[in-house]
Chains A and B, each alone.
Chain A
Amino acid sequence: MSAKLVQGYEVVIGFETHAQLSTQSKIFSRAPTAFGAEPNTQACAVDLALPGTLPVMNLGAVERAIELGLALGSHIAERSVFARKNYFYPDLPKGYQISQFEIPVVQGGEVAFMLGDEKKTVRLVRAHLEEDAGKSLHEDSSLGGGGQSGIDLNRAGTPLLEIVTEPDMRSSDEAVAYAKKLHEIVTWIGICDGNMQEGSFRCDANVSVRKPGAALGTRREIKNLNSFKFMQQAIDYEVRWQIEEIEDGREIQQATVLFNPDTGETRAMRTKEDAADYRYFPDPDLPPLVIGRDWVERVRAEMVELPWVMAARFCADYGLPEYDAATLTQSMAMAAYFEATAKACGQPKLASNWIMGEVSRRLNSGELAFAQLPVSSTQLAALIGRIADGTISNNAAKQVFDALWSDGDEVDAIIDAKGLRQMNDSSALEAIIDEVLAANAKNVEEFKAGNAKAFNALVGQAMKASKGKANPAQVNDMLKQKLG
């Protein structure tokens, strides 16, 4: 591993990610999981821990755990156990969280991604199923006449997969790249909607520093990072802070810290005494979860094609370079769009260029999702077709694309309306070129004297004379021919 030292220290990072699973109902109750409902309207008796209530497991949550395990090459436990994690907090109605402790459902596995040119692999320790807690609302100072927090238990019981890595990461860049890749995977296979603002994908970063070769340093845990930008900032700040402490002769105390996006700083939470004594024991209300091999195989057979498998296929079937294939398979939507376009126009490399280039640029600047793309794959394919068959030049194509984006309509209709048809008539072109050569004798001389730029000037003149309709490739060829 190529470690990038910070002030001579090696940075060691491990992640714990909580991904909310995209089920209709909660993990242990039949209340709905939709985001944004009025407080406590999606918290049934089981979620509120009313006396006498009991948990009943959601098949959809288990299936999504299996899908994640398969995607990451993990071992899916044939038998796993739910355990109670006991602690008191107002957003935890039972006074314990049903989670998995000694025997999680998913064991091992890895996430591979590119960091610049380097291939990185982060190993997973485990992923386990557990229930989410509710929410405490502190901001409204009028609640209860002041000094009160309001507890909304709608979120309590939403299924989570807690995904835990080994401390394999060595920089904030690597950590963010990992997080982005994991985010891509869980959204790609459809187990999580990935909406970080709504709290669907939350990361805790365990950060420590050490001199190279030394034992692992004491780590601090930065909790609830829900944006990639904040992740980067928080880790960078925390690393600098820890190094400064050590350099000043102080020891790092194990702590849980929160990142403040306004100040850009991490700050230790009030230390909770006995925070680590959760008194885990197997939940007597839930017999062990048994997952037969035939179920796993069924899920495997029905799973969507994984992004790296699809990327390999793009290279093999469409002859795309690895970089293109990797970029196009960042999201299911982009990959599907590419494939539809490529199949329709038979020009996979051109399709890739357009999607990685023009399409992505506009989506990013407009902060749009693929679903909101106004140009369909059919339209793009038609446009690419007209470039490939020489009807229009690349420049003209950009104008057509503009029109497609803002106004819609058919490619051919736009070409005609804007008069963008390339001149493909050789004799007419020859006539123009002869005129240009005649009118620009100086450039001809300079070119013959060895000035390459002069050639470009001639090309420019020819294009101007043809009112942009000439096929630049043809112009090039013809000029070269005539100039010798």
Chain B
Amino acid sequence: MGGARAASGFTSKLPAIYPHNAAAMSLTSSEIARIANLARLDLQPAESERMLGQINAFFDIVTQISQVDTSGVLPMAHPLDAMPTMPPIHLRLRPDLASEPNDREANQRSAPAVERGLFLVPKVIE
């Protein structure tokens, strides 16, 4: 994990080095390229163009959420959080037992490239 770390308590905010830029909602082509790289998607130039337009149109609808006053509201990562009739849902823990059998053949039957049980990929350069 990169970035400066505060030794004092933990809050729900990201480290201060990340810019907080709610106003910049219109993507540029270079940002499209950056996101496409992050998501490992090869976009053709025409595709990229079209996507830029469509995603910016999408962000036009989305900007309205910045107007909403959410101070004091806890984020809801699971709908289970909001069910008033039930006790708060928390992570179930299973006993530490290794019960999955070796099913390699079935698990690998849709693999694009396998040799001696290994999945093959183009050489990884560190």
A interface residue numbers (CB < 8 A to B): 23-25, 29-33, 38-45, 48, 50, 56-62, 79, 81-82, 88-90, 101-104, 107-108, 123, 125, 136-138, 143-144, 147-153, 164, 166, 254, 258, 269-270, 273-274, 276-277, 279, 282, 284, 286-290
Contacts and interface: CB of A to CB of B under 8 A. Distances in A.
A148 B120 contact: yes
Interface of B: 1-3, 5, 7, 9-12, 14, 34, 37-38, 40, 77-78, 80, 89-100, 102-104, 107-108, 113, 115-126
Given A90-B121, A151-B121, A287 B78 contact: yes
A284 to B, nearest CB: 6
B124 A90 contact: yes
B77 A282 contact: yes
A286 to B, nearest CB: 6
Contacts, number: 149
Nearest to A148: B120
Contacts of B104: 40-41, 43
B118 A30 contact: no
Main DSSP-derived SS at the A contact region: loop
Contacts of A107: 9-10
Contacts of A30: 94, 97-100
A43 B93 contact: no
Contacts of B115: 143-144, 148, 150
26 contacts: A29-B100, A39-B117, A40-B104, A48-B107, A50-B107, A56-B92, A59-B96, A60-B96, A88-B40, A89-B124, A90-B121, A90-B124, A101-B1, A107-B9, A138-B123, A143-B118, A147-B122, A149-B124, A150-B119, A151-B119, A153-B119, A164-B1, A274-B34, A274-B38, A276-B3, A290-B91
Interface centre among A38, A107, A144 (most CB of B within 10 A): A144
Given A24-B97, A90-B119, A40 B90 contact: no
A288 B37 CA distance: 31
A45 B104 CA distance: 9
Contacts of A282: 77
Nearest to B8: A108
Given A90-B119, A279-B38, A58 B96 contact: yes
Nearest to B3: A276
B31 to A, nearest CB: 12
Contact of B124 (A38, A136, A277, A289): A136
B91 A57 contact: yes
